[in-house]
Amino acid sequence: MEQKPTTFFMRKKISLLLLLCTCPLLLWAQPIVRWDFYHEGNWEQEKIRSVGFFLESAPAYSFPAIKEGGSHQFQLLNQSGDTLYSSQLSTLWTDFLTTPGAKDSTASFQASLRFPKLPTAYAVRLLSRVSGEYQLVAQMPISSIKALPCPALDYKELNPALAADAPLCILLIGVDYDTGAQRQFELKARALSDALLSTPPFKEHRQQISLKAINLKKNSADLRLQSNIFGADRYALTLALHRLNQELSSVQHHYKVVLWNRTAYLGGGIYQQVATVGAENEYAEVIFIHELGHLLSDLADEYYPLQAESAPINPFFLSWAPNVGDDLEALPWKTEVNIEIPSPWNKIPYEAFLLEQEERMQQANIQSGKDWEEFLEQENLKLEALLYRPNWPMEVGAFEGAGHQYQGFFRPQIDCKMFGYRQVPFCKVCLAALQKTIQLY
C-alpha cells in the first residue's frame, strides 16, 4: 500500500496528541477533589490524620500542578505506583515549626489539598523536606470520594478586562461583613482588585486573571479567624480551613483570600492554602498584595527584627524561598546580581529610624486623619532618603537582613513589597517568581 505523505495538518494533530498525553492536567478541565487532613506533631515527629476525600461541586476546570517552593510535595499515584500529578505546598504546621514551642510541644492544624479527579488515581502520598531531603510522611489509598451538599453561591466578577477563558481565579471572601455591610464589602473587594491589577506582574496578565468576590456573611468565630497566631500580633489566619473550603466548594477558584472586616493591620498567607487580610485600614491594599506573594509563589518576608538581640525564628523554611538566601556563593538569584555582595546599605541608620518612630509619633501630637497622613508622608520621605540610591530599582545584590533574621540572611534588593509597608513594586526576583506562577495557568 502506498504510504501517504504526512501533511502539515496531520503533523499538527500528532503534536497536539503528544501534548495532551504529556500535559493533560494543563489542558483538560477536570472536577476537583479535596483531601482534608490534620497536619500535626513537632520537630521530633510529623503525622497526618486524614479527614477524607471530597468532590467539590463546582463545574470542571483546569488545575495545574505547582512545581516549586513549599515545605511538602503531594503526589497522586495510580495502582502501579506511577505519579499522575504532583504539586508543592506548605501548611500552618510548617509555620509552627519556626516557633520555640515546636521543640517541646505538639500542635495540630487543618490543611487541605485540591487536585484534579483522575480516573486512574489510586492513592495519595505526602513528602516533607522540613529536615532537608524529602521524606515520606504519609501514603494512603483513595478509598472513597464523598460529594457533600453545598449550595450555589452568588459572586461578583471584579475584573472588567477578563478574557472569556481566563484560567487563573483568585476568590475574595468577606467575613464579618453582615447584610448591612454588603456594599462596604463590595467596595473594598473592588478597590483591592483594582490595586492588584495595576501592580506588575498582575497588570501585564490582567486578561488572564479572574477576581471573584463573595461575602459569606459569616462571623469570624464560625471560621475560627484569629490574630496573634504564634504570638505575632499582626499574624491572622483562619483555623477552620476545612469548613471554609467546603463553604466555597461550588465556586471555581484556585486561591482564597479572606477579607476580614477589621481596622487593625492584620495579615497572613500560607503557600497554596489560604491568605487573610485585615481589610478596613489604610494599608489593606499593600497587605493584600504582600500576602498574595506568600500564597501564590512562596515568597518569604524580607523584613527582620530591628535589634540583634531579638530572638530569630527557626530559618529552615528559607532554604527553598526564591527571594531570601544565606549562602552568598549560591544565592537563588545569583545570575541576576549586578553589584557587589554583600551589598552596602544604611542598615544601622534604617533600624534606628524605625526604632525611634514611636517617639516621633508621640511628639507629632496627631489629632486627625489629616495629621496622620502628613506624618506618614514625612516619615516615608526620610525613609526613602535612607534606603534608596538613584538607581536602586536596578541594583540586584545581597542586602543583609531578611526572612525575620537580623543577620546572616540576605534579600535581593533594598526594597520590595515583601520588605515593607510602602507603595513600592516587587523586586526583580519576586517579580520573576510571581510571573512564573501566573504563567502556569
- In a structure prediction context, what are the per-residue pLDDT tens digits for the chain, which is 441 residues long? 333 333 222 323 323 333 333 344 444 799 999 999 999 999 999 999 999 999 999 999 999 999 999 999 999 999 999 999 999 999 999 999 999 999 989 999 999 999 999 999 999 999 999 988 999 999 999 989 999 988 889 999 999 989 877 799 999 999 999 989 999 999 999 999 999 999 999 999 999 999 999 999 889 999 999 999 999 989 999 999 999 999 999 999 999 999 999 999 999 999 999 999 999 998 999 999 999 999 999 999 999 999 887 777 889 999 999 999 999 999 999 999 999 999 999 999 999 999 998 889 888 888 887 888 888 889 889 998 999 988 778 899 999 999 999 999 999 999 999 998 788 999 999 999 999 999 999
CA distances from 229 to 5, 51, 59, 268 (A): 67, 24, 35, 9
Name the residue with cell 525611634.
Answer: 356
pLDDT of residue 392: 78
- Supply the pLDDT for residue 289: 98
- Biggest CA–CA distance in the chain, Å, is 95
Residues facing residue 225 across a β-bridge: 238
pLDDT of residue 371: 83
Cell of 274: 489560604
Residue 111 pairs in a beta bridge with 37
List CB contacts of 224: < 8 A, sequence separation 6 or more.
Answer: 238, 239, 240
Report the C-alpha gap between 145 and 76 in whole angstroms: 14
How many alpha carbons lie under 13 Å from residue 258 in its C-beta half-sphere? 35
Q: What angle do CA 103, 270, 159 make, to 5 degrees?
A: 170
- Residue type present at position 133: E
Chain position carrying cell 495510580:
78
Check: CB of residue 16 under 8 Å from CB of residue 55: no
**Letter for the amino acid at 63?**
F
Which triple of cell numbers denotes residue 255? 486561591
Provide the grid cell at 194.
483594582
Q: Order of strands across the sheet with 156-157?
A: 156-157, 209-218, 168-175, 255-260, 274-278, 267-270
**Closest to 173 (Cα-Cα) out of 64, 247, 92:** 247
Q: Rounded to whole angstroms, how far apart are CA atoms 185 and 218?
A: 13
CA 426 from centre of chain: 14
Are 64 and 72 in contact by the 8 Å Cβ rule? The answer is no
pLDDT at 313: 84
pTM: 0.91
Helix, strand or coil for residue 189? helix
